[in-house]
Structure 1
């Protein structure tokens, strides 16, 4: 994920679990159905799972309890410390979507929640290529994240946040690189994935991208 946001991750670490529980009105709609989002990602995962943006370990915990072998990647020390307190058994490596240690174990699933939007579209394209190289044949990517059906919808939701006085949310939506669904689909299909989307709340969709072993020329 974009390292330019690392200070935000560090600051948000202590309040993140309260926010996902709906205790911050500004982000209540973003985290609506949070447990359902995590459960859907787990249900779509199999084998050895590489999780980018472990955060405070909420998804990691569910994956481990489902009997999956999890390798975590996390750039924020503050987030990582909270995750390790919850899950001492979790293997977490320092890194982000673009820069991380070599993964020697065969990877069947790559997962992430509320994190891929920290990359620009160009960075997302690079990351998707790397994912294709890491994954085993017929491996899959399962990402839950805020994304928009169109640029018009995105701007309307920014305006709506401002009208409600949710200025921190509006700032986030303007500052970070929340993708348009068609753009995200192109990024993954270009790198040899069959892609599906499922909407989970007003903001969040789940992207499922299955490696089809026929990567096109970039």
Structure 2
């Protein structure tokens, strides 16, 4: 359920903000327009929000600036500590992941995440989406920014591009984690009662906005 990658993020925690700011050439394209991606997710959010994969709290900060009520879920203890230092007592951060987390007492308006849903297999993604349908109000939204691909061919081409440019850590990430394609993800949402649209923000990252029907 994504926790098999925890050790990677616990090692990466201290350097994460530097990487997303564009200081690591290998991941420069992955995080191009990072601030715009976060703002786009925040702009699509409303009301009470659950955020999965808080990381160091960058999206959380933008959600709080909109005066939204945010519950943060983050499995990595080092990441939670960094986020808490950045956000103070303005938000509750809990240990949890996409499938196992403290259940809200009431239905919520928006569920958000950035750069994290690919840690689930497609089967686990389907289970998560089904669970979120029960958590959301009618017309509630799931807004996820994540790496995904239009086709399996474009996915393989990206891996080869990374290897040719000696971006071996990036290539390893792409081959190890559970990146999916837009047709597969769109079908998962539609099968569980959502209408989903996709918008591209760089070569890697798309925002999927899925509304509960």
The verdict on a shared fold, with TM-score over 0.5 as the criterion, is yes
The answer on 1:13 being equivalent to 2:16 is no
Alignment of 1:105-116 (within 5 A): 105-116=106-117
Number of residue pairs the alignment of both structures matches: 212
The alignment partner of 2:23 has SS state of coil
Shift, 1:93, TM fit: 1.2
Partner of 2:166: 165
Q: Distance in 2 between matches of 1:186 and 1:161?
A: 28
Partner of 2:47: 47
Shift, 1:198, TM fit: 0.1
The alignment partner of 1:71 has SS state of strand
Alignment of 1:11-160 (within 5 A): 11-88=11-88, 89-160=90-161
Partner of 2:197: 196
Q: Distance in 2 between matches of 1:118 and 1:57?
A: 18
Q: Distance in 2 between matches of 1:105 and 1:59?
A: 23
Deviation larger for 102-111 or 191-200: 102-111
The superposition leaves residues 91-133 of structure 1 with CA deviations (integer Å, 9 ceiling, x where unpaired) of 1111000001121133100000000000000000000000000
Q: Distance in 2 between matches of 1:69 and 1:105?
A: 13
Alignment of 1:174-193 (within 5 A): 174-193=175-194
The alignment partner of 2:144 has SS state of strand
Shift, 1:9, TM fit: 1.1
Superposition misfits of 4+ residues, deviation over 6 angstroms:
none
Unaligned runs of 5+ residues in structure 2 are none
Shift, 1:90, TM fit: 1.4
In the superposition, the TM-score normalised over structure 2's length comes to 0.98
Q: Distance in 2 between matches of 1:196 and 1:4?
A: 29
Q: Distance in 2 between matches of 1:134 and 1:62?
A: 22
Q: Distance in 1 between matches of 2:54 and 2:186?
A: 24
Q: Distance in 2 between matches of 1:100 and 1:43?
A: 25
Q: Distance in 2 between matches of 1:181 and 1:106?
A: 27
The alignment partner of 1:40 has SS state of helix
The superposition leaves residues 22-44 of structure 1 with CA deviations (integer Å, 9 ceiling, x where unpaired) of 00000000000000000100110
The superposition leaves residues 128-151 of structure 1 with CA deviations (integer Å, 9 ceiling, x where unpaired) of 000000001110000000000000
Shift, 1:197, TM fit: 0.0
The alignment partner of 1:22 has SS state of helix
